[in-house]
Amino acid sequence: MSQETSVRQNRPYTVPQPAEPSERAEPESAPETVIEPGETQQAVPASAELPVDRFLDRERSWLAFNERVLELAEDPDTPLLERANFLSIFASNLDEFFMVRVAGLKRRIATDVATRTVTGQAPSEVLGTILITARDQMTRHAACYQKTVGPQLAEQGIHLLRWPDLTEQEQTRLFSLFRKKIFPVLTPLAVDPAHPFPYISGLSLNLAVKVRNPASGNEHFARVKVPPLLSRFLEATPRQRYVPVEDVIAAHLEELFRGMEVLSHHVFRVTRNEDLEVEEDDAENLLQALEKELLRRRFGPPVRLEVEESIDPEMLDLLVRELKITHEEVFALPGPLDLTGLGSIAGQDRPDLKYPKFVAGTHRDLAEVESASAPDIFAALRVRDVLLHHPYDSFSTSVQAFLEQAAADPDVLAIKQTLYRTSGDSPIVDALIDAARSGKQVLVLVEIKARFDEHANIKWARKLEEAGCHVVYGLVGLKTHCKLSLVVRQEGEDLRRYAHVGTGNYHPKTARLYEDLGLLTADAEVGADLSDLFNRLSGYSRRDNYRRLLVAPRSLREGLLTRIRQEIENHRDGLPAYVRIKVNSIVDEAVIDALYRASQAGVPVDVWVRGICALRPGVPGLSENIRVRSVLGRFLEHSRVFAFGAGGEGEVWLGSADLMHRNLDRRIEVLVRVADPAQRSSLNRLLATGTADTTASWHLGPDGTWTRHATDAEGRPLRNVQETLIEGRRKRRGGDG
């Protein structure tokens, strides 16, 4: 998509060179985006009223984010298998949105506790807008697959076919597969006076089947569930020819209904409310309460019904009636349904249809130059803090190696760790188990309420307990979302603490796909702060004041507000002033209002957001000094960074918190102040690069519309910040990575 890059008037902005956050540089100077006093309008008193329509709706903003994902799938410049993957991601995102946000909204409307949003909309209006927008997007999504991605995959030898398109030989092969591996696990369920309408589990694919008894002539309805453990697409031949699994089942329904006439069949899919409600104050044992709630989750009310557009009206009416769903919540689409399965197709070994391969290298401050042995991370941290930027810096040779070295080191006495999400074969969990078995004190705070990872986290919590780790589940009423590791080591007569504070989960697999930052440090203040915080999380400590940390829910919001207000004062005093923020979402009204005040006072504000943004940039008299950008690409932008001019000294924080109510009020979140001037400068250059007009991104307008800017006025591609960082790493290593 070609868009002419818009350049804001009345705001001098010099674009810095691309930066790599982990590089060392000269101490930072005054930022290049500073607006000198007198260049903008006079400061507005903090008591002045702000307009009532100053916020964007969060649900529409989320849908706009998913539309940006869809645009990547529609973009012909995106590699073909990556387009298929973005189609899968779009569908998965929308599933979760309906399961949580739409379900929650419907629940509040049904119980009459819903109130108007900050934008002034009634809940029913919000729901109506969601359904209309989602329908349009799902139609675009299906068309992208049907008209472009599917046919282009076929041109490249990857054929996604329907049953009638298969050769006779392929159908025979799949019939054999059906008899051996599919038929034995199928369970057709009849519906008649003796058999009530069956429960339809959320996100499962189902066949609604109409059969007739040839003896009596009576017609009956039956449901066949597609077993979720089967592959979404079955290989018809080894020549990359695939067919949806439901097509194979549908072609052999006579095998399931022997002696009956199969009149018709239709594929459908139900999305249910799958958010959890655990009353922690009343639960004697949080683990047991959560396990019970996970069982109840399966029976949440439906919030969406997807059907193939060929379904006959009689069958549709039956489903709507039995599922107790409205026609507005029915989405008729061309088959196949559930394109989340395209993720498996995108995993094909076809490098020519994917982004160029990139393998992360070891951070240069941790790399051994003269030896092939693993680096001594403790020795490196005694020299300097190490600022990591994943996936450009290897997770396995930094954070994972840090914990593995701690587990194996006989001088390490204790390890304290938070786990929000991790992988099923996690080397992090293995390292903690090894440490406990070797006699070290190991404290693990497992957040078992991490949405949709509850089952996995319960499993790992029990495994850690069995190995001798002290496992706790945090504070009642609060999720523990912070990303922390603390290692206590005996060094001579003294104890030294080593720490890691990050923006991403301790998940080795997603660390190769998510963009995240982390600080490895032996700084005494950070170590003391983490000791105090872990004591609060595991015991009854009430400490709220920290040296280099801001911690939610007590001090994080107010800490950020204080710094934004200070930037206003700095600007009034003629000192360098700016605010730069990189987050996944920004919704919190108090923070947004503070940014509006800063803009009115003349302070330049840049916001780099991946997902939801309730802030309106570029509104005259309110936010003309605020720019909002969004970057989506091969890596999921996940880091959170907050930078302030601080009168020329520069202050930068990184950590786990997004600017949402749940993060600031209902979670344990941590930001750490970056002390090294070179690292602060590097992070500032990264933020400036990501929000520059010469960088490919989406720009948010004052009306909430996102516009993609991928090329300049002459049609030349704008700089891709992720590819720029990849190329920088390759040049540093002197190879192709």
* 638 labeled part of a ligand binding site: yes
CA distance readout (Å), 448 to 106, 425, 664: 26, 17, 19
- With H, G, I as helix, E, B as strand and everything else as coil, classify residue 77: coil
* 451 labeled part of a ligand binding site: yes
Question: How does DSSP classify residue 461?
Answer: H
Q: Which residue has the tokens 């938070």?
A: 418
* 421 labeled part of a ligand binding site: yes
How far is 571 from 374, CA to CA, in rounded Å? 48
SS3 content of the chain, % helix, strand, coil (to 5): 35, 20, 40
Give the list of residues 6+ apart from residue 187 with CB closer than 8 angstroms, or none: 224, 225
- With H, G, I as helix, E, B as strand and everything else as coil, classify residue 173: helix
* 610 labeled part of a ligand binding site: yes
Is beta strand 494-502 parallel, antiparallel or unpaired with respect to 626-630? unpaired
Is residue 561 within 8 A of residue 512, CB to CB? The reply is no
Tell me if residue 699 is catalytic.
no
Question: How does DSSP classify residue 340?
Answer: G
Ramachandran assignment for 324, one of left (phi > 0), alpha (psi -120 to 50 degrees), beta (any other): left
Residue 551: closest CA among 487, 473, 444, 475: 475
- CA 120 from centroid of its chain's CA atoms: 28
Is residue 539 within 8 A of residue 561, CB to CB? The reply is no
Q: Which residue has the tokens 């009223």?
A: 49
Question: How does DSSP classify residue 179?
Answer: I
Which pair of tokens denotes residue 137?
Answer: 């997007």
Task: For residue 128, give the amino acid letter.
Answer: G
E-only strand ranges, 215-352: 219-225, 233-237, 241-244, 261-272, 302-308, 330-333
Q: Give exposure, 716-733, as e/b (b: 16+ Cβ within 10 Å).
A: eebebbbbebbeebbeee
Residue 21: closest CA among 626, 636, 516, 660: 516
Q: Is 154 exposed, middle or buried (0-12, 13-18, 19+ CB in 10 A)?
A: middle
CA distance readout (Å), 561 to 414, 555, 565, 576, 659: 36, 10, 6, 18, 12
Q: What does the CA dihedral 511, 512, 514, 517 come to, rounded to 10 degrees? A: 60
Q: Name the catalytic one among 252, 265, 266, 481.
A: 481
Which pair of tokens denotes residue 582?
Answer: 């990189």
Residue 644: closest CA among 569, 694, 590: 569
Q: Is 56 exposed, middle or buried (0-12, 13-18, 19+ CB in 10 A)?
A: buried
Which pair of tokens denotes residue 168?
Answer: 């006779």
- The values of phi and psi at residue 566, to 5°, are -65, -35
How far is 506 from 432, CA to CA, in rounded Å? 12
CA distance readout (Å), 234 to 158, 230, 252, 341, 416: 13, 9, 15, 11, 45
Annotated binding site for Mg(2+): 421, 451
Annotated binding site for ATP: 93, 514, 610, 638
Catalytic residues: 481
